[in-house]
Amino acid sequence: MRPSSSTSERAAGLFDGVLARGGVSEMVADAAWLDAMLRVEVALASVHAKHQVISDAAADEIAAMARPELLDLGAIAAQAAQSGNPVVPLVAQLRGLVTDPHSVHLGATSQDILDTVMMLIASRALGVILDDLAAAIGAAAGLAEAHRDSPIIGRTLLQQAVPTTFGLKAAGWLVALAEARDRVETVRHERLAVQLGGAAGTLAPLGDAGPAVVADLATYLGLAAPVLPWHTDRVRVADLAGALGTACGVIAKIARDVALLAQNEVAEVADGSPGGSSAMAHKKNPVAAICAAGCAAAAPGLVADLLAAMAHEHERAAGAWHAEWRPLRELIVATGSAASWLRACLERLTVDTDRMRANLAASGIDSPGPDACGALVDRALREVSHG
């Protein structure tokens, strides 16, 4: 009664609608890794040709042959276990397709390829995450502006405190999202770098040309050029992890606020297209907020794993490098999915200002009204890029 293999393939992604929403998942899929691995080998050959280390013809042939459909991907996956990574069998196959096998992967080691691929993939995925964050920021700005003067009871320690406005609440979301966005953007532009060092990170096989080759490879691939090969300096991975973990933390805060405001007893906001229940037809679950929270919750542990994996031994780690692949992938997916859910949540949020006013009145709190809030909202809208 086991499902057939074709069924199994179609079923791939059973939880992806919830946990891998948005465009990021595809960008970290195996196909994307393979694609990027080939792209790096092609780039390397092209740069080698420019530096006359290999011929233009050899580089052109590599570019022509570096196509997934010419490779036996099943064999690559299977043989990856023998060497501990998929680059060794991929390079072997690619070498089998070209006239001069030595022109392939010249001066590089497996980690050079995978580290650079990781950065390429992160760069593209962060682009998508930034799009979703930008949309969420736009939505938060819209809410802040529209509700600049909508009074709401402020709540501290989950108790009614003193009045504020929903606009200021949304402006708080806006500022936090913008800070997270800024950090993701900085990491994307400044910290994602090409890695090339050869067997022990010395660039030895490239002689004096080493740094120039690295610089050209970086330009070719649209990545930064590092001061030194960073094969055992994982600050870039940590920077990436930290930026994504922070974004998830901000998303979790906003999702929590929305879920709390959407409680029936509070009912100040509602999810615009809520989800049902398999047991209760009347339920209006704030699915977007809840899924955003569920996805974002993956971040702390994944960041911890990536930080704990920074102690790469000598010139290549005895396990810590392998330990990065899965958590980084998962962290990118979790952040992308959380950002996509939050965007949906904020874009379709409906706000019940009457209920806010009623709850405020019922609180019996007669503090002076939140006159100062409008100015703060204006300040946030003015100082934070949200267009």
Instruction: Report the site for its own copies in 21-60 (rule: CB under 8 A).
Output: 21, 29-31, 33-35
Q: Which of residues 239-258 bind its own copies (CB under 8 A)?
A: 239, 241-243, 245-246, 248-250, 252-253, 255-257
Tell me the closest approach of the beta carbon of residue 349 to its own copies, in angstroms.
Answer: 15
Among 25, 46, 103, 109, binds its own copies (CB under 8 A): 109
Query: For residue 4, is it left (φ>0), alpha (ψ between -120 and 50) or beta?
Result: beta
User: 131 is written with which tokens?
Assistant: 């799009």
Among 95, 256, 316, 355, which one carries the catalytic annotation? 316
Q: Which of residues 290-309 bind its own copies (CB under 8 A)?
A: 290-295, 297-305, 307-309
Side-chain-facing half-sphere of 347: CA atoms under 13 Å: 13
Among 23, 50, 60, 88, binds its own copies (CB under 8 A): 88
Among 207, 350, 354, 385, binds its own copies (CB under 8 A): 207
Taking CA 62 as the corner, what is the angle to CA 57 and CA 64, rounded to the nearest 5 degrees?
95
User: Rounded CA gap, 215 and 228, in Å?
Assistant: 11
Question: Are 14 and 75 spatial neighbours (Cβ–Cβ below 8 Å)?
Answer: no
Only one residue has tokens 């580089």, namely 59
Applying CB under 8 A, does 277 fall inside the site for its own copies?
A: yes
Size of the site for its own copies (CB under 8 A): 177
Question: Are 42 and 66 spatial neighbours (Cβ–Cβ below 8 Å)?
Answer: yes
3-state DSSP assignment of residue 366: coil
Give how far the C-alpha of residue 141 lies from the chain's centroid of Cα atoms, to the nearest Å: 22
| Residue 2 or 52 with smaller CB distance to its own copies | 2
Torsion sign, CA atoms 143, 384, 248, 221: positive
Applying CB under 8 A, does 285 fall inside the site for its own copies?
A: yes
Only one residue has tokens 């398999």, namely 278
| Residue 51 or 284 with smaller CB distance to its own copies | 284
Q: Among 50-58, 75-83, 120-128, 129-137, which window interacts with its own copies (CB under 8 A)? A: 75-83
Applying CB under 8 A, does 346 fall inside the site for its own copies?
A: no
Active-site residue, 316 included: yes
Residue 275 DSSP one-character state: B
Applying CB under 8 A, does 99 fall inside the site for its own copies?
A: no
Applying CB under 8 A, does 222 fall inside the site for its own copies?
A: no
| Residue 180 or 351 with smaller CB distance to its own copies | 180
Among 103, 116, 150, 164, binds its own copies (CB under 8 A): 164
Q: Taking the CB of residue 260, how many other CB atoms lie within 10 A of it?
A: 15
- Give me the amino acid identity at 267: A
- Beta-strand ranges (E) seen in 42-181 are 151-156, 159-165
Q: Please provide the distance, in angstroms rounded to a whole number, between the alpha carbons at the two ends of the chain.
A: 54
Active-site residue, 256 included: no
Q: Which of residues 139-158 bind its own copies (CB under 8 A)?
A: 154-158
Among 8, 83, 273, 277, which one carries the catalytic annotation? 277
Applying CB under 8 A, does 212 fall inside the site for its own copies?
A: no
User: Rounded CA gap, 315 and 327, in Å?
Assistant: 22
Q: Among 47-55, 104-112, 122-130, 345-353, which window interacts with its own copies (CB under 8 A)? A: 104-112
Catalytic positions, written as ranges: 277, 316
